[in-house]
Amino acid sequence: MSTQRVFVARLAGCSVFDPAGDRLGRVRDVVVVFRKDDPPRVIGLVCEIPGRRQVFLSIGRVTSIAAGQVITTGLINVRRFQQRGGEVRVLAELIGRRVFLRDGSGGAHIEDVAIERDRLGEWNVGQLFLRKPKTSASPFAKGPTTFAAWSEVRESAEPGEAQSAEQLVASYSELKPADLANALLDLPARRRLQVVSELPDDRLADALEEMPEDEQVHILDGLEDERAADILDAMEPDDAADVLAHIPEGQREELLELMEPDEADDVRALLQYLPDTAGGLMTPEPIVLSAEATVAEALALIRRHELHPALAASVFVTLPPYETPTGRLLGTVHFQRMLRYPPHERLGAIIDDTVDPVAATSSASEVARMLASYDLVSLPVVDQAHRLVGVVSVDDVLDYLLPKDWRSQDEEHDRELAQ
């Protein structure tokens, strides 16, 4: 049998199938252990299965890696992956690492790692794909690339030198926010901070919104106050308010002062409500229009790419002013109803007045009952003067009602290490 070679960056995201052809999950990383005189040995894959849980798949249970897919024996331990001492994740920890070529030609960064299956069926780290420093002053130029065997490189001469996180961030570019959040939480603490420092503000904000509050606070604590405020600006106001509620009051006010005034005002408005009320769960940025606005105007607004699907399901008609807290709420117009009328139709003529708003002080359980009873994805929230102050969506309620650790169960996994 000839040697089989697979580059890890291409393997990431590949589907994992059982022998019957049923899809079990996707590859997220490769786990290796270092050896004294030989290349690192592959002991398994980190796979994501339904429920966004990352589990360990022993390399001994992999029967084939080819054509962008992994075939297994069908046996997967579904307990959550926890990295053990001595184990190294290739994408999370090796990609981007600086090494030196033993031939004296200088340093380079690892851009990809090839794993190879030898004639005995064992998988080891084979060639490294390296990029050397650029030789041109042009900002668009890149350094030359080369291949090297593991034995032909050595670690950085300076112990503790920070690894480049640029390549790892690039490998995360296609991940959805929830998947990016999981990937960040699975990184070692030091590596996570390096990657966080390289992520654009909007990408980091999206990922933080998918994390438990304690993890959000931990990551924000590791940032400079100015950067933390920028991240909070980029988050949805209700999510920013949730994380700020878990920060000591003095630090919270400092961050609010550094935020953009309009964003900070929205967050302060939400912080005045208890977290288990409609006011504490809502977002203060619904789509608000006058009764004279047309169907065409409303449809144009809900088409915006950045708008959350739950917020795009309805527009709300009020008296002026049209920013929360608005004038008196007149009613709701659902997007499906708008599709049944000509573009020039006035919204005031097609209001659905059968959906009652909820008070900002209503409990989360009451909001959940109303959403379930009337098959709605969102509800308007009003104050005592019947002014629209926000909208609470079904995903906001689910986040509150589900267990705090629903995104990641604290379980141990058992697996066999190759001898």
Lowest mean pLDDT segment, chosen from 25-29, 78-82, 260-264, 347-351: 78-82
| pLDDT tens sequence across 370-414 | 998 888 899 999 999 999 999 999 888 887 777 655 554 433 333
Lowest mean pLDDT among 148-162, 270-284, 296-310: 148-162
Q: pLDDT category, 163, cuts 50, 70, 90?
A: very low
For 141-167, the three-class secondary structure string (H helix, E strand, C coil) is CCCCEEEEEHHHEEECCCCCCCCCCHH
pLDDT, tens digit, 9 for 90 and up, residues 197-248: 888 888 999 999 988 888 999 999 989 999 999 999 999 898 899 899 999 9
Same domain, 69 and 105: no
Q: Has residue 141 got a pLDDT over 80? A: no
280 assigned to some structural domain: no
* Per-residue confidence (pLDDT) for residue 309, from 0 to 100: 84
Name the phi and psi angles at 268, rounded to 5. Answer: -60, -40
pLDDT value for 417 = 37
pLDDT above 70 covers a percentage of the chain that reads 90
pTM of the complete model: 0.61
Q: What is the tally of structural domains in the chain? A: 4
Residue 54 lies in a domain: yes
* 416 domain residue, yes or no: no
CATH of the domain at 239: 1.25.60.10
pLDDT given at position 354: 81
Q: Looking at the structure, tell me whether residues 148 and 177 fall in a common domain.
A: no
Average pLDDT over residues 323-335: 93
The pLDDT of residue 415: 39
State the Rg of the chain over Cα: 26
**The domain boundary residue, chosen from 246, 272, 298:** 272
Rounded mean pLDDT of 55-65?
Answer: 89
Average pLDDT, integer, range 325-351: 94
pLDDT beyond 70 at 149: yes
Q: Which domain holds residue 125?
A: 93-155
* Residue-averaged pLDDT of the chain: 85
Give 278 or 160, the one with higher predicted confidence.
Answer: 278
Domain ends where: 83, 118, 138?
83
The answer to whether residues 297 and 396 belong to one domain is yes
Backbone angles phi, psi at 104, to 5 degrees: 85, 10
Residue 273 has pLDDT above 70, yes or no: yes
Examine the domain organization and report whether 31 and 69 are in the same domain: yes
pLDDT at 7 over 50: yes
pLDDT in tens, 126-137: 899 998 887 776
> Residue 356 pLDDT more than 70?
yes
Share of the chain above pLDDT 90, in %: 41
| 331 inside domain | yes
Instruction: Read off the pLDDT of residues 64-115 as tens digits, 9 standing for 90 and up.
Output: 887 678 999 887 777 888 887 678 889 888 888 888 998 888 889 899 999 9
Grade residue 320 by pLDDT with cuts at 50, 70 and 90: very high
pLDDT at residue number 47 = 92
Q: Are residues 206 and 263 in the same domain?
A: yes
Asked if residue 284 has pLDDT above 60, the reply is yes
